[in-house]
Chain A
Amino acid sequence: AQTVTQSQPEMSVQEAETVTLSCTYDTSESDYYLFWYKQPPSRQMILVIRQEAYKQQNATENRFSVNFQKAAKSFSLKISDSQLGDAAMYFCAYAGTASKLTFGTGTRLQVTL
């Protein structure tokens, strides 16, 4: 079975600074996808970024980028130029051939002035 581990329950970053959220996973599959979802206080799950395992190039979406290390099974999220609206729970998720998403336990990100 696949597992996803987020070892940082809480992180804090100052506005305009950069923060990196960690995620590791365990799988025996070779084809899979990895995701970061954001859950603000409204509890809506919002897709932040997605990475295909077969792609070596790290995904980027505006201020959000990932550092995907397939051999190490590591998938960290970097948020640049942090904004107050980035404050939320961030969940790392894995999807393999079984289609369902396996989520980590989340990292609560605080953004301070």
Chain B
Amino acid sequence: NAGVMQNPRHLVRRRGQEARLRCSPMKGHSHVYWYRQLPEEGLKFMVYLQKENIIDESGMPKERFSAEFPKEGPSILRIQQVVRGDSAAYFCASSPSPGAFTDTQYFGPGTRLTVL
């Protein structure tokens, strides 16, 4: 059973470009979470999605950031007009079922975004 997949593992963008991060949850998992880890800090929650629905986006910056989890395909975290402060590791996690707070979240390897 493959784990959570994220790609790319490393992404370099210049200021003002768009960054698109992908996450494929574990097989059978229908809940996806995105977290951001700034250098030397812990992970901070960004957004929680189920298929075609955003459940909780309380951690998402109000501008430039968006996320989706379509019926088919991976979850996408999109950052428009990136700035140097967006440089961080972005982790995706998935969990299996409704009542998700009872389920353990399993993490992908992360995408390290560097903004030049």
Contacts and interface: CB of A to CB of B under 8 A. Distances in A.
Interface of A: 32-33, 35, 37, 42-47, 50, 91, 95-106
B89 A43 contact: yes
A98 B107 CA distance: 18
B69 interface: no
A17 B76 CA distance: 44
B6 to A, nearest CB: 10
Contacts of B110: 43-45
Q: Is the interface of A mostly helix, strand, loop or mixed?
A: loop
A98 B101 contact: yes
Given A43-B109, A44-B110, A100 B42 contact: no
B42 A47 contact: no
- Tell me the interface secondary structure of chain B in the complex: strand
A32 B43 CA distance: 19
How large, as a class, is the contact surface on chain B?
A: 20 to 34
A37 B95 CA distance: 15
Contacts of B58: 100
A102 B107 CA distance: 14
Interface in B89-104: 89, 91, 93, 95, 100-102, 104
A35 B42 contact: no
Interface string B73-116: 00000000000000001010101000011101111011010000
B109 A99 contact: no
Nearest to B3: A44
A33 B101 contact: yes
